[in-house]
Structure 1
Amino acid sequence: MEIAVVDYKGGNVQSVLFALERLGAQATLTADPEVLRRADKVLFPGEGEASSAMQALRESGLDLVLPTLTQPFLGICLGMQLLGTHSDENDTPMLGLLPFKVQRFVPDAAHKVPHMGWNNLQALRGPLLAGLTEADHVYFVHSYYAAVGPYTIAQAAHPGPFSAAVQHENFYGVQFHTEKSGPVGTRILANFLAL
């Protein structure tokens, strides 16, 4: 199986590569459109800020390549957010692959921003989350979120519900860090590789 990890100079790439290695999978870090097109699976990790990430994608032409991919595709953290249409973070137009807008959490006395730490998943559905239950926890670090919609395949709350995982056609996304979520994150990556 050929696995490609999108290289747009975003953060968090090495930990994703290590997580795949722990599953016995070798991945290629690449910005080459042909390598991305022929891969069996594509992962799109990210951390950082939306407008800088979109600028890097535009400069490399990946903003035009990624929407054309037809194989299973997994966006992680910022990589999930970039699948949406728009982010309130620096008023950023995004890839537009899923019909959600990304907005900032509003802090209150009990809920700080960023939302950081372990949180459980709710309302799980679909093959990406097979074998998981609402007792399972994953690791989040984010200040922005996508609202719950028909694309949502798992929710979490901070304090209200938000999309913890999304799907549209071959495009999947998780707001949490699979590679930092222990056995649960490993299970999700294994499920993705099995799609």
Structure 2
Amino acid sequence: MAKNKAPAQPKVQAFADHHVITPPNTLKHAIRRVIDRELDDPVARAEQALANLSGEFKTWMRSECDRLSAAHTVTLKKGFDTQTRGELFRAAHDIKGDASTFGFPAAGAAAESLCRILEHAPDLDAVPPDLIQHHIDAIQAIVREHNTIEKAGVANELSARLRAVADDYLTVVNRDRPDHLEMISAPSIAPKE
């Protein structure tokens, strides 16, 4: 049978100009002390799990690049409509989100630049096809050639130049849309190396 104890009352300390109220610690019984060897470090476990998966990152990024390329091929055949634009945007956006985690931050920056074009261009059919193609080619090259430190510098430069060209284009085509100009001039949110 459970004991019916009256709930513990808060401890009140009165001072000349204030009161300090200390509530009772009703969770004392829920705490269990552990010794150091029993400590669980969830961050260390997560880092270890990520390290175990790291061999798959390049394969996953290649798969994302293939998805981006396939979405672009469909837009070349069908043109831009809600579905084709959405699929191309989602493929680029997924690369933007995954790239830094998978060790390809420059690919994430190039994918972010492509997302900005797809999001802010007033007429996607008027976007120079080479501008989109160069972004896709850059993302694929960065993922394919990212195995040396020297190439990482080239990848960062390539991503930065693509972003500059995309921003210049978006600034010109959005000159009559001040709300988009403000978003275009915002700094990149893609993580850097």
Q: TM-score range by the shorter chain?
A: under 0.3
- Greater fraction of residues in helix: 2
TM-score for the superposition, normalised by structure 1: 0.23
Larger Rg: 1 or 2? 2
TM-score, normalised with respect to structure 2: 0.23
**Structure with more strand by fraction:** 1
